[in-house]
Amino acid sequence: MSDNTSVALRLPAPRPAQQSAAAYLRHGQTPFFRLPMADFDRPGAAPYAGADAVLLGVPYDGGVTYQPGARLAPYHVRRTSAFVQPFHTFHEIDVFGALAAIDGGNVAIPPFEPEIVRHLVQTEVSRVLAAGATPFLVGGDHSILLPALRAIAARHGPVAVVHVDAHLDTSDGEVWGNDFHHGTPLRHALEEGLVEHGQLHQIAIRASVGSPDDASFGRRFGARVHPLDEVAALGVDAIAAEVRRAVGLRNVYVTFDVDAIDPAFAPGTGTPVPGGLTSREAIALLRGLAGINLVGMDLVEVAPSLDHADVTCHLAAHLLYEGLALAALRMA
Ligand code: MN
Ligand code: MN
């Protein structure tokens, strides 16, 4: 008996929502989630026209204080996101059928010019919003949150922010002599009025801090902190339900720092803090936010060079998929 040589990959007719797995295997490269790429040659400079959601890679880690590497995340998360299929079995929705999502490519930035990076990220997110689409940023380090939120607030006004992180990210320039880095985006966002008072929800916080009053800055703006201990005691479903009640019908931006998750589940990150969320809790947390009015999301601080077996990159792809599902639920 010879092997069955008649077996061939089925190559179905191209579908607009998501490229088939076989087509991806054939050419070996993928946009995020095998989605169509934005058409940058489209006349009228409207590459995002008709999209409900645009994924943007931001290959930048010039805001990192210790271990760099997050600039390579967009490339690796594209690769691992190819594994994700359209049908979401928990929400029972065809995510890419309900949501016209595309890959907007990477924001093309000079990685050594932080101010220009902020300008270009804000400009690109503004373009996505102007097209009526929801931006999903794949970092990059957490400093990219500030320009993203500037664009979001310019369009929507101050929003509610769900911030999942081991760190508060409201530090100042005291330590480094520069207060634009990945430990400060929320300080600027609060000071600039990009976040509605009382609508910063910080979840899974647990890192050691420089002084006992590190959380006092956020408190002045009514920030609500759900430390990891509280999440562990009450469970992620209860935390998600509380956040959902608190944000109500507001526009919500979700900023997800992968170091919120335990390094055992997400080792590929620059400032790991032991004792974090499990992958399952992180996914359940996002699922528990179903019904919120999501106006944007980022997934930041994935550092592929520190990863093992793509664990963190696979998780990042799935967390983004959960965010896309939240947006898809709004379309259904
Ligand atoms: Mn962090
Ligand atoms: Mn962070």
Measured distance CA(247)–CA(264) in Å, rounded: 31
Closest ligand to residue 63's CA: 2
> Each residue of 55-103: pLDDT tens digit?
999 999 999 999 999 999 999 999 999 999 999 999 999 999 999 999 9
25 or 236, which is more confident?
236
> Which domains does the chain carry?
28-331 (3.40.800.10)
Report the separation in Å between the CA atom of 15 and the middle of ligand 1, taken as the mean of its atom positions. 38
Measured distance CA(250)–CA(16) in Å, rounded: 31
CB 143 within 8 A of CB 182: yes
Q: Are strands 224-227 and 195-205 parallel, antiparallel or unpaired?
A: parallel
Report the separation in Å between the CA atom of 141 and the middle of ligand 2, taken as the mean of its atom positions. 8
Measured distance CA(222)–CA(61) in Å, rounded: 29
In the structure, ligand 2 is a single-atom ion and the residues with CB under 5 Å from it are 142, 165, 167, 169, 257
Measured distance CA(24)–CA(32) in Å, rounded: 11
Closest ligand to residue 167's CA: 1
CB 81 within 8 A of CB 317: yes
Report the separation in Å between the CA atom of 303 and the middle of ligand 2, taken as the mean of its atom positions. 13
Helix (H, G, I), strand (E, B) or coil at 10: coil
Closest ligand to residue 269's CA: 1
> Each residue of 103-137: pLDDT tens digit?
999 999 999 999 999 999 999 999 999 999 999 99
The DSSP letter of residue 82 is T
Report angle CA 9, 11, 17 to the nearest 5 degrees. 130
Report angle CA 153, 105, 289 to the nearest 5 degrees. 50
